[in-house]
Structure 1
Amino acid sequence: MQSAPAARNHDDLGKLILRVVLALLLLFHGLSKIGGGVGFIEGMLQKAGLPAIFAYGVYVGEVLAPLLLLVGLFTRAAAAVVAVNMVVALLLVHTGEFFSLSDTGGWALELQGMYLGSAIALVFLGAGRFSLGGLKGRWN
């Protein structure tokens, strides 16, 4: 049986892995939007009757929030931003795929679902000890 400090280290390591994987994978999407712009998102927002300026929020959800997750600062808030970003993406872009399967038999939205689920988990878990916020950090 593991002692409490050893179990705590494993919990913190798990939180670190979850934060880093989610952050890095989302950053690829954010960097793509930095390079290519958010024009296509503006168009989708306008089509949905929303202001096109909201498209720039994708930079917060796919660049700033993942960077905060990566270093473990404002982790719960950053994860909440990612979760909201994913809900908006699901509703704006992927509503037609909610009840679809991919060619390989998985849910068509499994990537988006994994991002959303991981972000929600981090909202509840926080960053853990291996972060700039620290285990009991004010900004964790």
Structure 2
Amino acid sequence: MRKNNDLGLLILRVTIGVLMLLHGIPKLSAGLDFIKSMLVEKGLPGFIAYGVLIGEILAPLVILIGFRTRIAAAVYAFNCLVAILLVHSSELFSMGEHGGWALELIGLYFFGSLALFFTGGGNIAISKNNKWD
């Protein structure tokens, strides 16, 4: 069987794009008040909460279609790091309730986006000739 890196990158793009979208879309309907209050509680300005929409809606959509995948993946990875630092830092070295790392899902998002940052989106993408693709 012949390897197909482009198909593998497409599968990775679709997987992390759809999963993060499913995580971010409810924030459109429920609002960002919870995130704003958490930021203010930590001494940060509440308007930073709108960055969640960029990291959990816009970046995944751009990754899905394969446009400037490397830039979108960097934004996505940064969003994951901020979420880990602000929300999940107490779980960083914890095990999950049923085994495994407590942060394995966000870890998969982070490392998947990091992989796309280094590889780009592949040839099955809207844009593939720019250095940021």
Give the TM-score of the pair, scaled to structure 1: 0.91
The alignment partner of 1:31 has SS state of: helix
How far residue 44 of structure 1 moved from its aligned partner, in angstroms, is 1.1
Distance 1:81 1:65 in 2: 7
The match for 2:122 among 125, 128, 137 is 128
Residues 139/103 of structure 1: CA separation in 2 closer, same or farther (3 Å cut)? closer
Distance 2:77 2:48 in 1: 16
The alignment partner of 1:130 has SS state of: coil
How far residue 116 of structure 1 moved from its aligned partner, in angstroms, is 0.3
How far residue 139 of structure 1 moved from its aligned partner, in angstroms, is 5.4
One-letter amino acid matched to 1:70: L
**Residue 78 of structure 2 corresponds to residue 80 of structure 1:** no
- Structure 2 unpaired stretches of 5+: none
Distance 1:73 1:139 in 2: 9
What residue is the counterpart of 2:38 in the other structure?
A: 44
What residue is the counterpart of 1:35 in the other structure?
A: 29
What residue is the counterpart of 2:87 in the other structure?
A: 93
One-letter amino acid matched to 1:50: L
Residues 80/139 of structure 1: CA separation in 2 closer, same or farther (3 Å cut)? closer
Distance 1:121 1:139 in 2: 14
The alignment partner of 1:102 has SS state of: coil
Distance 2:131 2:91 in 1: 40
The match for 2:53 among 45, 55, 59 is 59
Percent of pairs identical after alignment? 49
Larger radius of gyration: 1
Distance 1:79 1:11 in 2: 18
What residue is the counterpart of 1:71 in the other structure?
A: 65
Distance 1:138 1:86 in 2: 23
Check the 8 A contact 1:12/1:128 in 2, yes or no: yes
Distance 2:8 2:37 in 1: 39
